[in-house]
Structure 1
């Protein structure tokens, strides 16, 4: 069962807003066994909408449309869909009018504007989908063996309609397959290196299981996806293939599904009853931000310093001016003292420090772009690791964050 998502709105196409609706809808459809075949964003223009609907009808079973259902003149989705189905008769729904009145009363709006009254008019072929959170009703059409669903573009209204109306109705309308995913988090190798290690595994996967690579700087997520009608077979086979991957990649797998690298670091520190501090230069607080993105981080992460300038390294972390002048801020010696002194000042069991040159130029320290030092201090000593993450700047910064977290996860000193 395939679906297409069509988002309508010039504001998406000009980059004024980001289309988060499609991402969320795709995730929710996948959970009930519907595969998203295509996502399109189109203009608030009648012919463009008509063409998009026709093309979608020819290739998928379900078409989900968001946007263009408001009361203003630029919201033309409803009348355009009515034209597409040759449905010029509009039916008045008094319950929509009553709902709008109650909604306005709740927000102390004294009267319903004439344009809002038009929200109660729907094409006669439409099945009403009640929008409890806004004024624009959702619409369900079933024509030529294809389901068309039209939803408002406001994210929280769309989500309410999908959850309460659309998803349950799709599940009762169609016999849907099961879809299962398993995400494997890896660090330390790129997708090409990983692919070379598991080429035989990938070539011998059952036909109903697919493997996808989802790379980012310093991390690669592997996603195993199983689809079919035999639930038990899917679950058991997916579990077997996952075990094979664990055996093939034991040195780089750090977690599964929601168990991200950040979460794994947190679990390690909580289980060992250890505390952690950060001292960051080139990453500008991104390591601390990654750590606190995990609920419960306050149990082990005590705080961090962003010492971006040489002056702050001296005043906040007691790095001698003479050392900086001799070795530069991008050096093993400075990274070492940053970690040691951050641990002392914040009174923690561990401290991680990072200093380096993210580029795009050598600046005045004459160190190569991409050169990074990561220090980890504990009560038994300090280790400093040297890396060159190349360029561009974004890559260097993000790979530094991921490598620092990976070292924390594996450090046993």
Structure 2
């Protein structure tokens, strides 16, 4: 089966000036890839008629599937719908099904007590030639158009609203079933290995032999992060059994030299892995954060059901808070300093007690951009993890800017806790 390429066009001045971060393209790429369709190009354009038109013309040269997001609201700067009418030589007609849905949203969901405005009603006016894609969560319906490129091949253009939760629902429930039925697509299999503690270049050296042996239809991608490198094997073909056998064989070869730095045989984050470990052990944790300012607690509680294993956090940014909330000794702070192994240990002990937790994690350090201690430069950090029987520590010497120091410390601390929880689980 031939490879189907896709292009994503995102529309909006807010994307170009950085006011809004484009998360839609990443989601679209992930979902299309699962269906065996590859996003080859991504283009962002402003709310300019000619720019949108030119982007459509250009992408038709490269892709047989073009997905547009944005510009479908009820305000004057939302020009996608009238442009599409012109582009596909059609006209706007009122869709009574969409209008009924808009009434339902405003009366039964939004609980509005006033009549629909003319702008709201006009959201039901759609290009006559399009197939309407139902928007369960909003008034801007998705649209499916069929056209041809210069080679006479069919090209599908899909337009969806830019609001992420609306776009995602339309893509998954409405667009993707039609896309897969229309184009089909190769079988695509992904296998991911997550590692921590080794740089991308060193990991690549260990995998050089494997990479040279991969067939053309199996690719290895490196996805580096702060201290992490995720490795993704992607295979595509039309014989699932054969592809699965080959992918399994190469995945085993991938794992072997990286066993000592592997944290997961999937793309789970450290906070997800820790949550799974604690739930399995039926244990609870807490955090005591100074230099990370609650960032670790944010990562943990951003996941659903985190209350099953997370009791709480103390952000003890100054010495008084460390003393009053966590019970860190005044003498320790005076003699060893806030950024010290002894303080980190006492922060863990205090968090265990204060939050009645089974495990606790602590961070204390100097994030920058300046340090008031010549003996402790920016990037000096102590992290600690433990339970009531034992506490382990690690000193970090980071050399990044403030934000990256915070993120790196958080991940290093989570990995320290991960290893500690695994070790303790083996002793039970």
Under a length normalisation based on structure 2, what TM-score does the superposition of the two structures give?
0.87
Q: 2:20 aligns with which of 14, 17, 29?
A: 17
Note the C-alpha offset of 1:296: 4.3
Note the C-alpha offset of 1:217: 1.2
Q: 1:291 to 1:80 in 2, by over 3 A?
A: closer
Q: Could you tell me which residue of structure 1 aligns to residue 87 of structure 2?
A: 84
Structure 1 CA distance, aligned partners of 2:354 and 2:385? Answer: 15
Q: Could you tell me which residue of structure 2 aligns to residue 362 of structure 1?
A: 371
Q: 1:3 to 1:378 in 2, by over 3 A?
A: same
Under a length normalisation based on structure 1, what TM-score does the superposition of the two structures give?
0.90
The secondary structure found in structure 2 opposite 1:179 is strand
Q: Which moved more, 1:260-269 or 1:325-334?
A: 260-269
Q: 1:179 aligns with which of 166, 171, 188?
A: 188
**Residues 185 and 261 of structure 1 are in contact (CA less than 8 Å); yes or no, is this contact kept in structure 2?**
no
Q: Could you tell me which residue of structure 2 aligns to residue 129 of structure 1?
A: 133
Deviations 1:337-386 (Å, cap 9, x if unpaired)? Answer: 32334334444443332211122111247412111112234344433322
Q: Which moved more, 1:255-264 or 1:190-199?
A: 255-264
Q: Which moved more, 1:283-292 or 1:212-221?
A: 283-292
The secondary structure found in structure 2 opposite 1:328 is coil
1:70 counterpart = 2:86: no
The secondary structure found in structure 2 opposite 1:249 is helix
Deviations 1:272-293 (Å, cap 9, x if unpaired)? Answer: 4444332221111223333334
**C-alpha RMSD over aligned residues:** 2.5
**Residues 194 and 267 of structure 2 are in contact (CA less than 8 Å); yes or no, is this contact kept in structure 1?**
no
Q: 1:268 to 1:171 in 2, by over 3 A?
A: closer
**Residues 389 and 395 of structure 1 are in contact (CA less than 8 Å); yes or no, is this contact kept in structure 2?**
no
Deviations 1:308-351 (Å, cap 9, x if unpaired)? Answer: 11122222233333332222211222223323343344444433
The secondary structure found in structure 2 opposite 1:26 is helix
Q: Which moved more, 1:124-133 or 1:357-366?
A: 124-133
**Residues 191 and 215 of structure 1 are in contact (CA less than 8 Å); yes or no, is this contact kept in structure 2?**
yes
Q: Which moved more, 1:95-104 or 1:200-209?
A: 95-104
Matches within 5 A, 1:219-298: 219-257=228-266, 259-298=268-307
Structure 2 CA distance, aligned partners of 1:95 and 1:197? Answer: 58
The secondary structure found in structure 2 opposite 1:217 is coil
Q: Could you tell me which residue of structure 2 aligns to residue 390 of structure 1?
A: 399
The secondary structure found in structure 1 opposite 2:28 is helix
Q: Which moved more, 1:184-193 or 1:162-171?
A: 162-171
**Residues 386 and 417 of structure 2 are in contact (CA less than 8 Å); yes or no, is this contact kept in structure 1?**
no
Deviations 1:371-411 (Å, cap 9, x if unpaired)? Answer: 11122343444333222122222222222222222222222
Q: 1:116 to 1:314 in 2, by over 3 A?
A: closer
**Residues 230 and 267 of structure 2 are in contact (CA less than 8 Å); yes or no, is this contact kept in structure 1?**
no
Note the C-alpha offset of 1:63: 0.6
Matches within 5 A, 1:199-238: 199-238=208-247
Q: Could you tell me which residue of structure 2 aligns to residue 138 of structure 1?
A: 142
Structure 1 CA distance, aligned partners of 2:142 and 2:325? Answer: 57
The secondary structure found in structure 2 opposite 1:250 is helix
Q: Which moved more, 1:35-44 or 1:359-368?
A: 359-368
Unaligned ranges ≥5, structure 1: none
Between the two proteins, the alignment pairs up a number of residues equal to 412
Q: Could you tell me which residue of structure 1 aligns to residue 8 of structure 2?
A: 5
**Residues 218 and 398 of structure 1 are in contact (CA less than 8 Å); yes or no, is this contact kept in structure 2?**
no
Q: Could you tell me which residue of structure 2 aligns to residue 46 of structure 1?
A: 49
